Amino acid sequence: MKVRPDTPKDRCCLVGIFFFILGLGTLLPWNFFMTASLYFQSRLNNTELMNGTSVRKEYHFNNWMTFLSQLPLLVFTLLNSFMYHRISEAIRIAGSLVFILLFFILTAVLVKVDMDEDLFFSVTMAIIWFINSFGAVLQGSLFGLVGLLPQNYSAVFMSGQGLAGTFAAIANLLATASDADSESAALGYFITPCVGTLVTLLSYLLLPRMEFARFYLNRSSKYEKSATDKLLTDGASLENEKLNGHANGAVATVALNSSSRVEAKLETSPDRSEQADSSADKASVMEVFKKIWVMAFCVTFTFTVTLSVFPAITVDVKTAFPHGKWQRYFIAVCCFLVFNISDWFGRSVTTWIRWPGKESRVFPVLVVSRVIFIPLLMFCNVERRTYLPVLFSHDAAFTLIMALFSLSSGYFVCLSMSYAPQLVEPKNAETAGALMTFFLALGLSVGAALSFLFRSLV
């Protein structure tokens, strides 16, 4: 995209830093609840006497936590796609962050509250449902917002998302390593996302004060409104447009490349009213789906495989060296930290390596081949197993499988999401992005549902 001479500069990369923080904040809820699974299991690890025999009550916390995190993502991603133009962007983003902050505070408070296990489980599941519902609205809205800026800011936003898991894993590791009692360590752990969410909210509120952000957000908002109303004025000089206020009603999709393409067309088009008419002549959703169905399948299948075993099965793997301090750190390091770092690396490496190509038949074959990781992880040293034997008992084997599992997940997801808009015309890239968002959420939900089956088969 050609940069005009009057374009403001992003001084000290502040806007980039703010969007990195916003990306980090969108995935804090899911990652902090997932990484704290051992804390929740410890509070639910009670036994009951039945016929004089001590029986451990099984809540299947990791399965329900995963399912109730991803199902609202699917539901509210759809709702956000229909409702974004009726509710202002400021209310959707700031409001979601406020409610996420309140639910994190409630979670931290519950650490100090002595509750019956059944009640604690029910309250925690309700918190997980609501906090991820607001997280879905937040994520979809921010994807639309960052899409209004130059494309490199989308990469910065995605990098922030990629590091959210690592941030939660390190926080969990520090809480585990602290000398404080388990209750105080858990309290400190859940205070961390409260601070993180507050910083995220402040970053969003500071965006309108940045001249660079105002330039792109307001200009793109005006273009969108003009194209929709088909009332662009011929010969109106862009340099004379008055920039005031913050963009409201930004399109909440993951079509990260579409905004820059539309923006470039609007800048170079000699007749903007003609451009508005052509932009209205978009392909139907089914026509777009026929062109991107392979990428939609790939992102769905990738997340289905990933969520079907992580964390529901992987978190129950036990170290082969149970004696000593390593037992405390094993899951925090070999499960969560290894997964998040490898996943982030897999996403990042697509900046330099993009193989196979978007039209290669090898791509979906490689995606399907990831199904091998399901039995590989089920054959690891999973505690409380009934049917399957342990084939990979050593910690190194589990760590290697986890690294390859998460590396391939991040790599194929990032390729699928970036290839889809390239398979359609620029005017249909936004529709392609919205469809890919739906299938991404579908894969997460299907994987979470399948985790119940696979855990029962171990």
Q: Structural domain boundaries of the chain?
A: 10-281, 282-458
pLDDT bin (cut points 50, 70, 90) of residue 274 is: very low
The single residue listed with the structure tokens 């094993």 is 330
Contact of 73 with 451, CB cutoff 8 Å = no
User: pTM score, two decimals?
Assistant: 0.75
User: What CATH number matches the domain at 10-281, 1.10.10, 1.10.357, 2.60.40, 1.20.1250?
Assistant: 1.20.1250
Terminus-to-terminus CA distance in the chain, angstroms?
A: 53
What is the mean predicted confidence (pLDDT) over 206-219?
81
Residue with tokens 């009726």, as numbered in its chain: 86
State yes or no: pLDDT of 84 exceeds 90. no
H/E segment holding residue 48: strand 47-50
> Residue 296's pLDDT is what?
93
- DSSP for 198-233 reads HHHHHHHHHGGG-HHHHHHHHHHHHHHHHHHHT-PP
Q: Yes or no: say if 413 and 303 are a contact pair by the CB < 8 Å rule.
A: yes
pLDDT band at residue 424 using 50, 70 and 90 as cut-offs: confident
* Residue 5 DSSP SS3: coil
Cα 405 to Cα 335: distance, rounded to the nearest angstrom: 11
The rounded mean pLDDT for the chain is 80
Question: In the structure, what pLDDT confidence band is assigned to residue 263 with cuts at 50, 70 and 90?
Answer: very low
Whether 10-281 shares its CATH topology with 282-458 is answered yes
Angle, CA 371 vertex, CA 366 and CA 372 arms, to 5° = 95
Taking the C-alpha atoms of residue 178 and residue 169, their distance in angstroms, rounded to an integer, is 14
Report pLDDT for 250.
32
Q: Which CATH architecture has domain 282-458?
A: Up-down Bundle (1.20)
- Is the pLDDT at 42 greater than 80? The verdict is yes
For 333-355, what is each residue's pLDDT tens digit?
A: 999 999 999 998 998 888 788 89
